[in-house]
Amino acid sequence: MKRSQVLHAILFGAITLGTLACSKQEQPASTGASPQGPQASSQPASGPGTMAGSKVAEAPQPIVVPAGTTITVKLGSAVGTKTSNTGDVFMASVAEPVTIDGKTVIPAGADAKGKVVEAQALGKIKGAARLKLALTSVTVNGKAYDIESSVSSRTAKGKGKRTAVTTAGGGGLGALIGGIAGGGKGAAIGALAGAGAGFAGGAFTGNKQIELPAETALSFELTAPLTIQPQ
């Protein structure tokens, strides 16, 4: 064999061995990178923390105060047949908390508002003075809610005995709150309006007008449900 042919064979063998060595070095690098590639990193983490985070908290539901519920309030100022007019607004505060299923939904001290449905002084109508009041709103958690309530009604007769009757709406709830004979001045009267619902009171002046002083407790029944939004 010629010398040039031997050198050519040696050179060809060296190139072949070098190529094989390079391919073996590159193969582990490509296969070793795959476990840490995009497929491995894209798998979601699992565990109790992830399960808890995926749960959506349930939103609190509105509370419905049913019709027939009694709300007892205290007057913020005096209301009477001589000093008030039909359509006047009066301020009050809730005297006793209102609860539903053992939970207080209207706390004591909550602001309330009402209106004078009728105020007729003695002498303007024949035979009697009349005062009718209704509750129109209550404030819970800073939000005022319009309400529909029964009418609290009082009547003072012009002659003989003077009486006042509190009526609390469709259920027939009512209480005779007083009967006074003669001409006594400033006689205060009161009676329980409903079983444990609160007190209704009033006073008669010497000229046979009806006067309910501030802090007088009055009870009203809801005639329609009241929906209170959660805080």
Q: How confident is the model at residue 157 (pLDDT cuts 50, 70, 90)?
A: confident
DSSP per residue over 135-203, as a string? EEEEEETTEEEE--B-EEEEEEESSS-EEEEEE-STT--EEEEEEE-S--SSEEEEEE-STTS-EEEEE
Count of residues in the chain: 231
Q: Give the span between the Cα atoms of 79 and 115, in whole angstroms.
A: 10
Q: For residue 227, list its beta bridge partners.
A: 64
Lowest mean pLDDT among 17-26, 32-41, 141-150: 32-41
Q: Where are the domains of the chain?
A: 63-228
Is pLDDT of 47 > 90?
Answer: no
Mean pLDDT of 189-197: 32
What is the architecture, at CATH level 2, of domain 63-228? Beta Barrel (2.40)
The more confident residue out of 209 and 152 is: 152
**pTM attached to this predicted model:** 0.60
Is pLDDT of 70 > 70?
Answer: yes
